[in-house]
Chains A and B, each alone.
Chain A
């Protein structure tokens, strides 16, 4: 089973983004025992700011990456906010709209939005 979490709020304005990170840590701790499980996080809209290098949540994101959580950021939303590929934390994969749809429809079994 695989889970994709969609995050659309800035982690600096909404506490629920941190809550999502915590739930992911819990989930990964459980899934460590079942290797077929997989979790992904995609940051869209105002949440893309979490992917910028040097921000206060960078350490949590590196930890999630080490726990094999896949981290994605929606490219058009990042570009809109002046965040270039070079400015991204290197654990992120940039996806365009088509790839975002593929993640939802093909790559992950379940999708949940944190709003």
Chain B
């Protein structure tokens, strides 16, 4: 049975390489037949925001990289509590999430994964 890998994205999308590295891990591990899920929590939820326009800070938009991750077969989850604390509604995030989950579901997801890679 394929191992379950969970990529945990906890940092904001710009200013560090964490999120781009997370994207690379998701796509890279997926092609090796692993069952990859990505959980966006804490400031990582900003990665899912619609209408990112980072040309003013000379970077490429990371939200455009989300749909290709789905094409690799990755499941995408986001924690409801983290969205609410940041005033982000479901309409304000990209339509790529398999599920918006509660904190208890996030714990289950972490527990049921064979490998957890935090970014």
Contacts and interface: CB of A to CB of B under 8 A. Distances in A.
A10 B63 CA distance: 19
Nearest to B54: A80
A76 B58 CA distance: 10
The dominant DSSP class at the B interface is loop
A49 B43 contact: yes
Contacts of B107: none
Contacts of A79: 52-54, 56
Interface in B71-87: 85-87
A58 B88 CA distance: 13
Given A75-B56, A76-B56, A81-B46, A49 B15 contact: no
Given A55-B85, A81-B13, A76 B49 contact: no
Interface of B: 11-15, 42-43, 46, 49-54, 56-57, 59, 63, 85-89, 92
Interface of A: 10, 12-13, 45-46, 49, 52-56, 58, 75-77, 79-84, 87
